[in-house]
Structure formats: structure tokens, C-alpha cells
Amino acid sequence: MALKATIFKADLQVADMDRHHYGDHALTLARHPSETDERMMVRLLCFALHADEALAFGRGLSTDDEPDLWQKDLTGAISLWIEVGQPDEKRILKACGRAERVMVYCYGGASHVWWNQAGPKLERARNLTVVSLPSASTQELAQLAQRTMRLQCTIQDGQVWLGDGSRSVQIEPRVLMAPSAA
């Protein structure tokens, strides 16, 4: 018998001073049985970083042809494809061919090993941004995971604070690769 996803509900308030986006988002996250709280909360963080009414979660780990999050324009074209973790470079390059912009948010103790191996193979991708999230911060994010969450996220000058009112986690994303301004 297959295990079912665990459903989490999050009321997320975003104050993104860098993008001038301020909004409340009622989110439903399905956590795959093999997904950790840390990975799920990183997906939630990625939503906050790119918050938009058109941004949506993909179908999850068991789906090869969808990202963790994506945003489509009114024609159905993929404007933003977001991967979390340490995806295979072939998957990333395929995404770069399908979407206008691709973001990868890597995290965890072995992310530097993944980047050292994958980075040279991804240099040719002109629409790819790779961001590293500090392991200590993502582990703290996992502590915020609850079946029902009320979270506030503040983004200013590249710094991120995500909290639930009683505790807050500061995250300093570090860009490893970004498209060159042509």
C-alpha cells in the first residue's frame, strides 16, 4: 500500500522590500513520505522569495516533469522554474530549455560537493541562477514545521527572516551562479 502525502497548511505573510511585494498567501503543501521537514520548509522559503499570485507548487518528488515550484504566464509558458536540493544537472539543463528562468536552491552539508561537480557542467546555461542556503539556517527552518503554520517572512537587502511569532530564523542566501548581464 502506497503511503500518502501529509498535508500542511501555511498562512504566509510576505514583506519583500527588495521586490516591493507585500502580501498574504494561504498555502497548502503536500509533503511526500520521503520528504523531510527541512526540504518542505525550503520549498516554503522559495515561495516566499518569489511570492506571486501565479507561483504554484509542483506535484512533488514523484513527478519528473515538474519542478518544486513554478510560475506560468497567461499563455501557459513557464516563466520561472524552481528546483530545491541537489538536482541532476541533466534535469536542470532540460528545465533551462523549457523555462524563461531557472532557479536552484541547494542546501545541506553536501551541497558544496554537489556544486563542485555540477557547476562546470551548468556554465553554458544562460538563464540559470544557483543559490546556496546555509545548512544551519535550513535546519532551523525545519523546527518551524507544523501541520498548521502562521508565518511571517521579511526580505530586505538580500537578508531573509522567516518566523512564526515566537521564533525567527535568519537566512543569508549566497548566489553561486547567476546569468551575466548582457
Locate 84 and state its grid cell.
Answer: 530545491
Query: What per-residue confidence (pLDDT) applies to 59?
Result: 79
**pLDDT score of 61:** 62
Domain ranges across the chain: 6-177
Over range 143-171, report the average pLDDT.
97
Find the mean pLDDT for residues 59-66.
Answer: 71
Q: How far apart are CA 101 and CA 149, in angstroms?
A: 30
The stretch 98-110 carries a mean pLDDT of: 95
Residue 1 is predicted with a pLDDT of 53
pLDDT for 50 beyond 60: yes
Q: Cα-Cα-Cα-Cα dihedral of 88, 90, 96, 101, to 10°?
A: 10
Q: What is the mean pLDDT of the chain?
A: 93
Q: 3-state DSSP: the chain helix, strand, coil percent, rounded to 5? A: 25, 40, 35
pLDDT at 86 over 90: yes
Averaged over 100-114, what is the pLDDT?
94
Please indicate whether residue 77 or residue 65 has the higher confidence score (pLDDT): 77
For the stretch 138-149, pLDDT in tens is 999 999 999 999
pLDDT of 60 reads 67
DSSP-based three-state secondary structure for 74: coil
| Torsion angle defined by CA atoms of residues 100, 18, 41 and 180, in that order, rounded to the nearest 10 degrees | 40
Q: Give the C-alpha distances (Å, rounded to integers) separating 65 from 56, 69, 92.
A: 15, 12, 11
Q: Which CATH architecture has domain 6-177?
A: Roll (3.10)
Label residue 181 by pLDDT band (50, 70, 90). Answer: low
